[in-house]
Amino acid sequence: MPERSEERGASAVRPLWTGTISFGLVSVPVELYTAQRRNPVSLRMLDEDGTPLSRRYFCPKEDRELDWDEVVRGYPVGEEEFVVVTDEELSSAEPEKSGDIDLRLFTKTEDIDPLFFERAYVLAPSGKSNKAYRLLAETMEKTGRAGIATFVMRDRQYLVAILAENGILRAETMRFADEVRSPEEVGLPKGGRARSAQVQKIEREMGKLTRRDLDLGELRDDRAERLLDLVVTKQAEERDVVSTEVAESDEEDAVIDLMAELKKRMQGASSPPRPRRARKAPARRTARKRKAS
């Protein structure tokens, strides 16, 4: 039966990238983990008997489905005009692979506009780097500084800010300057002076909603909760349920809690052994549909 968000608990977590934070003579081995979860409610496209559908490329000009080796990539340079880029040319443009988060500079944390932040990650100490990791995190937090760096993950170069909070390092991938619109580009009107009575009214209303402590746990996705309730109810009633037997997942990571694992490492505890990969079962597909009697 589907689990509601509060019942999910830990999620399967594994490092997306392993490397080293480096600058000058300093070198700190780290592992990079995503700090975000997927929306707990996601829907798949199925046919009527419950078989998951797959995406295909279709040529409207020739009115037929294309094989993968017939597909090429193109950069649009005008209306209905493209410059074709081959796989070899794409490979030659990829950044040189590196195991380093190369810190280019340090700046005050408050000087970084959150508008540039794109995706959040947690950095954990790797191997025997716990002491160096702690020292770097404490120094950055004490001085209120963030590091700006670049690194390569999955053949793509990222601009990233390294931040320290509560003794933990985290990374925020950043948008490049040309990816952020200015207020002038959006077309915002020029600012003017508001009347004091209006300002006081807004301040009063803000005061009514101001809280001393912010509990982010209270911020819930109402639509996702309602949709999950609907799914749980329909499954319990065996109404509109279709099932398709497919190959077992090739997931090889144990279910762990990221912050608990990070806390263990920083306390010097060893990581739990990684489970052995199970052999894939041959894919079998059968479908059935159950309706309430």
Instruction: Please tell me which of 49-53, 116-120, 244-248, 265-269 the model is most confident about, judged by mean pLDDT.
Output: 116-120
Looking at per-residue pLDDT, the higher value among 194 and 146 belongs to: 146
Cα dihedral across residues 74, 78, 79, 81: positive or negative: negative
Task: Report helix, strand and coil shares of the chain as percent, to nearest 5.
Answer: 30, 30, 40
Q: What is the pLDDT of residues 209-251, one digit of tens each?
A: 888 887 777 777 777 788 888 888 888 888 888 776 654 444 4
Q: What are phi and psi of 106, to 5 degrees?
A: -115, 145
Nearest to 109 by CA among 137, 80, 150, 72: 137
Q: What is the total residue count of the chain?
A: 293
pLDDT value at residue 210: 85
Per DSSP, 269 falls in state P
Nearest to 168 by CA among 128, 137, 136: 137
Q: What is the pLDDT of residues 266-280, one digit of tens each?
A: 665 444 444 444 434
Q: How confident is the model at residue 142 (pLDDT cuts 50, 70, 90)?
A: very high
Mean pLDDT of the chain: 79
Range 10-40+84-181 has CATH code 2.40.290.10: yes
